[in-house]
Amino acid sequence: MIEFTLSKINLLILVIALFSIISFFSLSVGKIFLVGEVKQELEKYSITLNGMAIAPTTCDSKPFAIPPKFTSFGNNIYYQLHISKTQSSEGNRLIFTVSDVRSPDTVLAAASLTTEADIAIYDLVQGQVVSLGELEDLVLDPQAVPPVNAFYVVKSVKSGLKTLHLFPCAITANSQTCFPTIPPDGSSIKEQVDDHIDGSQSEEYFLC
């Protein structure tokens, strides 16, 4: 009887150990795939923006809609996208980082772009356009209400100097706030940022 009980206990211990190992393995593999998926998305932004920066065009613009969530082994991961800039010995650096909303201080993945072009990042604070300084984050949250699930980039060239302007906006099934509608209604984020730049006495404004 004692031997039978001990064998059952040993079997239970084995099952628990196997379950723990399999769970740990699944979580580890799931995180690896999640990080890879997020990094691939961020590198897509970097590659596209690098193409805009080095292209011989004098004017260009493009909206970027970000995913509503990432999925890892059937689990939905809700996140925030942080966009910031800094300077390095190689030029100006644009940095994309993604953090899980449940652990905002933990970076899931990051990607960056180094360019000779100037980088200008703008945010909306209580409906007003503000220019962000170095290492100040523009935070996009696709789950916010209303959502901030896109960013718009305008490349401008003034006296041979290229600038990449980035600012947040939203794209939904029924509307978008990124760029002017046809006919223009004066309420797009692009128009607000353009007015902010034009009124800053920097002699800079969007040509497209």
Domain assignment present for residue 203? The answer is no
Please check whether residue 24 lies inside any domain of the structure: yes
Taking residues 89-115, what's their average pLDDT?
A: 91
Measured in degrees and rounded to the nearest 5, phi and psi for residue 167 equal -155, 155
CA dihedral 5, 6, 10, 13 (to 10 degrees): 70
In a domain, 206, yes or no: no
pLDDT tens figures, 115-166: 999 999 999 998 899 999 987 999 999 999 989 999 999 999 988 899 999 9
* Structural domain includes residue 204: no
Where in the sequence is the domain holding 127, given as residue range(s)?
2-198
The verdict on residue 48 lying in a domain is yes
State how many domains the chain has.
Answer: 1
35 found inside a domain: yes
For residue 41, give every residue at least 6 positions away whose Cβ sits within 8 Å of its Cβ, in sequence order, or none.
Answer: 66, 67
Task: Using alpha carbons, list the distances in angstroms from residue 162 to 42, 58, 152, 196.
Answer: 22, 8, 16, 18
Q: Please tell me the pTM assigned to this model.
A: 0.81
Token digits for 107?
């970076």
Q: Which of 72, 53, 68, 201 is nearest to 144 (CA)?
A: 68
Task: Check residue 207 and report its DSSP letter.
Answer: -
In a domain, 149, yes or no: yes
205 is a domain residue: no
pLDDT at 97: 96
